[in-house]
Structure 1
């Protein structure tokens, strides 16, 4: 079936956007395969192991599809990540529950990234690939959610009491102010984004704790420790928004990090992993800021985004210094060639 689509537009070149989508997918899935091979090698719970295996199969399939699309367009294949970047045989670093929360977040990111990418794709091969990736990401989320629910680990947003009538905003005071004085209660849209950012930052903090524990380079260790501190601070900021309105702040639990100090990952992979988390956070904050009508909340997202952006820049500097940052395809330097 896939090859039928591959033949459909064999003479149609990929656009710059399509090259970007497929090139990034190659990078991300080669990375995911390394992570998931390690998870699969030391997971104990058979239900969780089944979901990890499913996620690994998806990543392998997506990598093969993106590789074939790039080759058919005569594009050089990225290096990405290989077996040299992972050692699945070392002692486990995280708990089985962490794997579940990680896969839940992985599926959410996949749905978002592939959905946006599909909307800019024209090539039949790319559209078919992205459509299939959205479908398998949906399946991964549902499988992960079912296991989380069955084990009592699913973190639900808070329940609230809502009015029994429809109302409209008729006063600018609804927007509040940046000083957080006499602001109105949170609405359900704002609660949704705040709770999601509590959960993702709690997961990110645990991940950074583990990676800092095993990173070989002092610079990478210190970078991960800084990431842990930032994520922990952001959890507190978002949790306070909820508790100030007498709402609980749901948190993932059993996010255990073992005492292992032997790294299953290369420092290059650890830094790439950090960059993916940062990119996801900036995207989440931008979406949440646009959806939040209370000025103080939107302003907090902007402030926190600036902190994350600086953290991202410092990470890029480390990757460049160590020749770990693979350059995306770009147009020729026509000005330089003219000289």
Structure 2
């Protein structure tokens, strides 16, 4: 790193994003290395190798930057958090769906990050992360299509004439509510069922192998929440005779030998929860039916409560690293 290029101190946003990225990429390296131990499909293996290279590249950049800036490098996740000798827990198809979902989440995250980053080296880094993730997402999508595994959103009729809304029942439930969903509503319902399907598969696997009874119960509770949300969201699509994603818990084996530490699995699941909160928030903003807005809002409250309890469990076990904090001026003024 050229010492002359970075005279400007990192902002709170830049520091926080880099810190969180370090944790997420260190976790991904552990997960992907385990995936590569048990894999048969050469196309999917190549995809996972590519994802691993990207995560390692991101981690190396942040570690070098933090060293130069004299910032404490997070502990993150290391070889102590993964058991590469553990039996296979997931199928190759799960790996493919996992990469596609994580790349979708990465595109959303990096898009948000770039809006709040100003230092040129950090902007360049996250712009490259965005480009890398877009390429990974394209490769994963291509493989899903080639193998006939892609879960496409439903098709709706093309508009044939210009029309305007004349009744409040288009939005307000109880005034002769419209039954037909808008394209945006269909898209968000389908996407949220799909991500919850992944959540069910992940919690199924993690609950099988968790060492702590409290952690196991937490994953089972998360699974119940996801299943309940799937039931409600799918019912909207079903009422309009639209398809919804099928379950893929069958891509989880019956192994009870944990490949990951409970700490890693808790962090992983809570990352998924945060992504879910964002997905529901977007769905609220793009829904024009009050019943949908009410359901999404209720789901977000349930998920946030689950997240809070997960954080408390991680604190109890000293697994939650403290993120960068602003200076406490009140304490400082006390001397």
- Counterpart-to-counterpart distance in 2, 1:166 and 1:73: 58
2:171 paired residue number: 175
Give yes or no for the alignment of 1:135 onto 2:121.
no
- Tell me, yes or no, if structure 1 residue 150 matches structure 2 residue 163: no
Residue 233 of structure 1 deviates from its aligned partner by 1.1
Three-state SS of the structure 1 residue aligned to 2:251 is coil
**2:253 corresponds to 1:261:** no
Alpha carbons of structure 1 residues 300 and 35: separation in structure 2 relative to 1, 3 Å: same
Query: Is the alpha carbon distance of 1:155 and 1:306 closer, same or farther for their aligned partners in structure 2, counting shifts above 3 Å?
Result: same
- Asked if the contact 1:214/1:261 (under 8 Å) is kept, the reply is yes
**SS where residue 324 of structure 1 aligns?**
coil
Q: Please give the TM-score of this superposition, normalised by the length of structure 2.
A: 0.96
Cα distance, 1:164 vs structure 2: 0.5
Distance (whole Å) between structure 2 residues aligned to residue 181 and residue 214 of structure 1 = 49
| 1:332 CA displacement | 2.7
Q: 1:23 corresponds to which residue?
A: 19
Partner of 2:182: 187
* 1:210 maps to 2:225: no
- Return closer, same or farther for 1:8/1:171 CA change in 2, 3 Å cut-off: farther
Asked if the contact 2:169–2:175 (Cα under 8 Å) also holds between the matched residues in 1, the reply is no
**1:303 maps to 2:298:** yes
The two structures have a TM-score, normalised by structure 1, of 0.95
Most deviating of 7-16 and 241-250: 7-16
Distance 1:156 1:296 in 2: 25
State which of 273, 280, 285 in structure 2 corresponds to 1:278: 273
Contact 1:288-1:301 within 8 A present in 2 as well: yes
1:201 to 196, 205, 214: 196
Cα separation, 2, equivalents of 1:248 and 1:203: 17
The residue number in structure 2 matching 1:42 is: 38
Match of 1:66 in 2: 62
Structure 2 Cα separation of the partners of residues 16 and 85 of structure 1: 29
2:88 to 92, 102, 106: 92
Question: Please, which runs of 5 or more residues in structure 2 have no aligned partner?
Answer: none
- By how many angstroms is 1:181 displaced? 6.0
**Offset from partner CA, 1:25-50 (integer Å, 9 cap, x none):** 11110011011111111111111101
Residue 331 in structure 1 maps to residue 326 in structure 2: yes
Q: CA RMSD in A?
A: 1.5
Q: Is the 8 A contact 1:97 1:255 kept in 2?
A: no
Does 2:295 correspond to 1:287? no
Deviations, residues 86-141 of structure 1 (Å, cap 9, x unaligned): 01121010111111110001101111111110111111110010000000000110
Aligned to 1:222: 217
1:312 equivalent in structure 2: 307
CA distance in 1, matches of 2:119, 2:298: 39
Q: Which shifted more, 280-289 or 165-174?
A: 165-174
Q: Which region of structure 1 is more displaced relative to structure 2, 41-50 or 180-189?
A: 180-189
1:131-181 deviations in whole A, cap 9, x for unaligned?
A: 00000000110110111111100000111223301222232221031x696
2:231 matches 1:236: yes
Question: Does 2:68 align with 1:75?
Answer: no
